[in-house]
Structure 1
Amino acid sequence: MRIIRYEEKQSQSPTLAAITDQNQVYPLPFNSLLEVVAEAKVKQIKPVEFIQELIADSLPLNESLQELKLLVPIEAPEVWASGVTYQKSKEARNYEATNGKLDANTFYDKVYDAERPEIFFKSTKERTIGPDGDLFLRSDSNWQIPEPELGLVLSGEGEIIGYTIGNDMSCRDIEGENPLYLPQAKLWSHSCSIGPAILLAETVEDPYQFEITCKIYRNEELVVEGSASTNQLKRTFDELVGFLKRDNIVFPGTVLLTGTCIVPPNEFTLADGDQIEILISGIGSLTNPVKSQVAQTVK
């Protein structure tokens, strides 16, 4: 069972909906997944069971999922991200920090093996976009890439209530110049996208078997493609969530991105007009065009 938000054509208002295993779309009488989870908790049943009760006597939309204008599946008050959780990520960060000396050891090696993971603040609701929204290139960087990641959707208690796709845009040159520049290398307007859906956690048998694929198109030609699996993760999801919760407030609907294992070739950088497509098995495909001009105001 997946959850989406879409723009209803007549009212142009955000609408919550459930997608069944048969890809039928059923509108739900709630504004957010959090309300569904809360009501299911009151009824002492699982969210999937509650949703099945809600749609049992209703009809699906006539429109298919592909015909809907999808929005972010949840308006996450905060998006956090994890770094150096895969071997590939550690190697890429070392390359940036040492000007290409692949055999050099850095603090990225230390954090990869340390008890404490790297967790950093990535985005806010106002900075995060959904499917088909424009991602912006940072104007003072010459080496930018997408970072396709599995996202954990969390309750206020830090419980994983669902999984989504996240794109943690990154400036490799800024981070490589100085690790203290990490916030600037990661956080700017339209530097994060999530979507297209949330796969309810209770329907996932093994979250370490998600297959992730990233494709980048330029002038409609595929120029970068890579694949990975969450079974390559160095750390567990409970471990990452545990450190995020430590002495911290986790707002309901927070999304925690779990790191990337797909890194484009070192000579590659995103350009205006590129299109990024991230696919994760069971969740769907998150597609965003890339624009070079950063908007002066957040819409």
Structure 2
Amino acid sequence: MESTLYIIFTIVIVAEFVFGNLSNGFIVLTNCIDWVRKRMLSSVGWILLSLAISRVVLIWEMLLTWLKYMQYSFAFVAGTELRVIMLSWVVSNHFSLWLATILSMFYLLKIASFSRPVFLYLKWRIKKVLLTILLGNVIFLLFNIMQINKHTEEWMHQYERNTTWNFRTSCFSRVSKLITFNMIMFSLTPIVVSLVSFILLILSLWKHLQKMQLNFRGEQDSSTKAHMNAMKIMVSFLLLYASYFISFFISFIPMAHEKGLDHLLSLTVGLFYPSCHSFILILGHANLRQACLLVLRQLRCEKKH
């Protein structure tokens, strides 16, 4: 039974890994081509490009870390190598989360229509606002790295003093707890910002639909479609990130530790977020969707020939 589950989880992980690299790689390639052709890139283009790159790094980091664990159970990891593993995860996870949050704010400021002076001030200066937030959260990243480095030092000091088998086999659990603690501390602010952006967008849509009814227009106009499309992307991000967050708690469940099935399940659930949300972004943006359809048509034509 365990061997069957191991095979199933492995197949799903490989599929998620390939799918995630294809979807994020497609976003990177499409935006890079637009950049070269037009010699410029829109604000949302830069956000999507940076977000896709951070998620490619995150996907590779998650897979390589899991492979190292499966082979050596982290007992081999030296202080420098452990710091590299933790640092790569912290940086890629930080930018993946914050860039998705900035994308949610971009949707809100670009699509929503509120008459409040504060909102109008932010809307008119949308590029400066988003750039300021991006540069400002670098402070969060530096503090995050300091915390991770501090806990890593303590963990390596304990490992040097205790090399028994029980301590070595608990290494992955210690790393998982450290990552989970880190996520609880530093994920709260961007998630709250994304959630508030989503709620405000719902409120904006409700007000817009009221105006539509007063004007006796029942059909869906471009503004309504833009609201609905942005809300789908934002709610998918929140739900998928929730599954990503929960995946780290799965590794604490005492189920078949000797076979690593708990960590396989954790990785399977965790990879949904960086892989699937990027595909939703492709479907939600007209230029990416059209480019994807064009590639599929060309592939069909090649198969016919």
TM-score bracket, normalised by the shorter chain, equals under 0.3
Q: Bigger relative contact order, structure 1 or 2, given CA contacts below 8 A and separation 6+?
A: 2
Q: TM-score scaled by structure 2? A: 0.22
Q: TM-score scaled by structure 1? A: 0.22
